[in-house]
Chain A
Amino acid sequence: MRIVWTFAIALAALAGSIPAQATVSILACEPEWAALSKEVGGDKVSVYQATTALQDPHRIEARPSLIAHTRSADLLVCAGADLEVGWLPVLLQTSGNSKVQLGQPGYFMAADFVNKLEVPTAVDRAQGDVHPYGNPHVHLDPRNISRVAAALVERLGKIDAKNAAYYQARYKDFDERWTKAIAQWQARAAPLKGMKLVPYHKDEVYLINWLGMVEMMNIEPKPGIPPSAGHLSEMLAKLQAQPADVITRGAYQDPKAAEWLSEHTKIPAVMLPYTVGGTPEAKDLFSLFDDTINRLLKVRKPA
């Protein structure tokens, strides 16, 4: 008993001796939102990225390190729309941090600020792990990034009012570069219009919608359900009858099914970065889209 109290007091003293942090401490659930937080927040924020591009954001363990960082965060920047439903609630409930609870300024869910696609009219688990609030992988339409950035700069200004002008200036600079980049991407990606994709999961929907591509089917029979051998041979038959242009998968998804299908259908399989860090080329938000478009253009047959 006495040992425990001594330990507690020592820890409290240790915690008290840490100098108050001057920066806004951000816990970003996914790499894309960590990258955006850095773009807008600059050196006035410190960003902890909870997951990497090689991790499936649906299936993350509520690890002790995540609880520790949630406890000290001033702001959570996450995708929302139930993408993190399997782990974020645990972090919120166990962290003892009032600032980042639902409804507080420190709770920022990107999907709240964009129009979501694929909002189901009825949900049933027979459809797989469907998201009742719509598809949460919103960042692959760069116009959504613009909207989220605009909301994020406002939120940062609220949380850290004395640096609001700094964030605004950074946002303005980012937005200018981003708007220009969108125009360039759209021009470069013009040949991708009408391209028929077979993505692994429904996580490229916003990209497909933005560039006017077509999602023929998914490797997963239902969202979140890995493909069985039977499902793959069914897909093979379908693709042989009506070929797609490319089979895609994100960096965090198992390559085997895509490779098998590609081998048997002679349709090229391409790994897309999905988010920042998914490929060596996708170093930040700008190069994420550069690389995604490059990889698709490379396999696009001239019409």
Chain B
Amino acid sequence: MVHPGIIAAAIVVALGLAPAAQAQANPELDEIRQQIKELKDSYESRIQALEKRLKDAEDAAAKAQTTATQAQSAAAQTQASAPPAPPEPPQASQQGSPNAFNPAISMILNGTYANFSQDPAKASVTGFLSNANTSDALGPRGFSLGESEVTLSSNVDHLFYGQATFAFEPDNTFSLEEAFAQTTSLGYGLTIKGGRFFSAIGYENSVHPHAWDFVDPSLVQRVFLGDNYADDGVQVSWIAPLPVFVEIGGGVGRGLNPPGSDRDKNGVGAGTLFAHVGDDIGTGGSYRVGVSMLRTSTDGTGTSIADIDDRTGTTNRFVGDTQLYGVDFVYKWAPEGNPKYQNFKLVGEWFQQRRSGDLIFDETGALGIGPTPEAFMLKQFGWYLQGVYQFHPEWRVGLRYDQLEEGSWNAGPVASANGVVKPDFTPRRYSAMVDWNPSEFSRLRLQFNQDKSQIGLTDNQVFLQYIFSLGTHGAHKF
């Protein structure tokens, strides 16, 4: 063991205050000198090491702060062997700020220039009872602002997630598109959603307009469901514990919107059921197929039968039930499953709508017949198929084909005799679009439609649209 006195001496030596030791020919002293020298060397090297570590740590700290300039900094090169800085707690940049709990906010701005060769205000799909407040609105000619959407979303607490989407219409009206809360912690694959939300029926229905691949919705969506069929109610969905995606769900609601109408009564106004199956096909492809159903009823308000009115020159009203059955599929493909550079998306939907109830013919007595309620049944179909190909990170092209079938009409004798008959016509539409996406947050689109959904008319439509997304990076569903 080294004597404490020797250590004291060594420290004095190491600090550079060494007194001139009197050298004497003494083997014991030589040994002590040797020990002191060793200690001195050892301390010096340790101090050097400590100094180096301190400098490295300082460099590392400085580097972490200057992010932009650090790459060019030659000084940064000195710390390749710097020991890792100790882990810090996760960064909380806005500690103590009252804004820290603000919900995520995103905003969609969009606008369109449209050119129609026929009058868009008079557009109605021949033979189809459409949903007046949303679907027949093809939008004005010329320049127009689309609806501006603001979405707020956040976890409510450890059990619920909430989201609201406000739409500001170009005519300065306001609508609450969606406002719902959903569970996040029921487990077992169960999710319950309550409030106002786009129903999960079909595929396009629950996609917000800014995420559509075309300016306008498909014809089936337009005539059977409106832009997006939303309801106030509750929806439950369950995902099976399988390696393949299997989802089953259903909802009940007020039946507020067309094809139904709001009625002042207890109980359920509308019901939906849906099931989805999906999986990957190889490394590049994936699909989802679904079936869905909607059941609702109307007292005649909200459901326009302008088509019948126009063709007969009378005013009519339909009161009764509507059932909608749909099959949808979506297939997406990208080389190696990497959609950034190239990808392809194919979507198809088929719907059948059955309406049964009463047609109150000539409500205002225009033909002198007077209001005549008669049993009325209608069974109509429609489908579309669309493909969108992104051939460059910034460019996409798309084609869509829409077709509707007049199906079978069963009107009462008075109505039939006065022109409420199935038109001998198949509404169709051809669409082509190209869009430019300089980033994930902006899109400029040019679209051309040849719309043959009105008997005897061809409407050539040209749209130029911009869609900008501000704020939180939205995550889009499949």
Contact = CB atoms under 8 A, between A and B. Distances in A.
A60 B240 CA distance: 23
B17 to A, nearest CB: 39
A291 B239 CA distance: 41
Given A11-B240, A224-B439, 12 more contacts: A4-B248, A12-B240, A65-B279, A67-B278, A94-B237, A96-B187, A96-B238, A97-B189, A119-B67, A125-B441, A186-B81, A225-B439
A282 interface: no
B338 A62 contact: no
B286 A63 contact: yes
A163 interface: no
A86 B186 contact: no
B91 A116 contact: yes
B91 A119 contact: yes
Contacts of B423: none
Contacts of B332: 61, 63
Given A68-B243, A94-B191, A212-B77, A7 B475 contact: no
Contacts, number: 202
A225 B85 contact: no
Contact of B237 (A56, A96, A118, A125): A96
A96 B191 contact: yes
A56 B334 CA distance: 12
Interface stretch (A35-43, A126-134, A261-269): A126-134
A41 B187 CA distance: 24
A261 B280 CA distance: 36
A95 B189 contact: yes
A233 interface: no
A97 B393 contact: no
21 contacts: A52-B283, A55-B336, A56-B340, A61-B286, A64-B279, A72-B242, A86-B474, A86-B475, A92-B184, A93-B182, A94-B191, A96-B183, A96-B188, A102-B155, A115-B85, A117-B67, A119-B91, A125-B439, A190-B80, A212-B78, A254-B393
A303 interface: no
Contact of A129 (B70, B439, B470): B439
Interface string A46-63: 000001101110111111
Contacts of A113: 87, 90
B244 A96 contact: no
B288 interface: yes
B389 interface: no
Contact of A212 (B79, B242, B246, B476): B79
Contact of A118 (B67, B273, B340): B67
Nearest first, the 10 A-B pairs at minimum CB distance are A64-B278, A212-B80, A64-B245, A98-B185, A98-B187, A68-B245, A215-B71, A54-B336, A96-B189, A89-B475
B476 A115 contact: no
Contacts of B87: 113-115, 147
Interface of B: 63-64, 67, 70-72, 74, 76-81, 84-85, 87-88, 90-91, 93, 155, 158, 161, 182-191, 237-248, 250, 273, 275-280, 283, 286-288, 332, 336-341, 393-394, 438-441, 470, 473-478
Interface of A: 1, 4, 7-8, 11-12, 14-15, 18, 51-52, 54-56, 58-65, 67-69, 71-72, 82, 85-90, 92-99, 101-103, 112-120, 125, 128-129, 132-134, 143, 146-147, 186, 189-190, 193-194, 208-216, 224-226, 252, 254
B245 A67 contact: yes
A68 B244 contact: yes
B286 A211 contact: no
Contacts of A143: 84
A50 to B, nearest CB: 10
A86 B191 CA distance: 21
Contact of A210 (B78, B80, B243, B339): B80
A118 B338 CA distance: 26
B91 A134 contact: yes
A94 B339 contact: no
A99 B189 CA distance: 11
Contacts of B243: 65, 68-69, 72
B190 A209 contact: no
Contact of B478 (A55, A61, A116, A193): A61
B92 to A, nearest CB: 10
A135 B413 CA distance: 73
A133 B91 CA distance: 8
A160 B179 CA distance: 38
Contacts of A193: 77, 80
Contacts of B275: 4, 7
B340 to A, nearest CB: 5
Contact of A85 (B183, B240, B473): B473
A64 B286 contact: yes
Given A59-B340, A65-B244, A101-B184, A85 B475 contact: yes
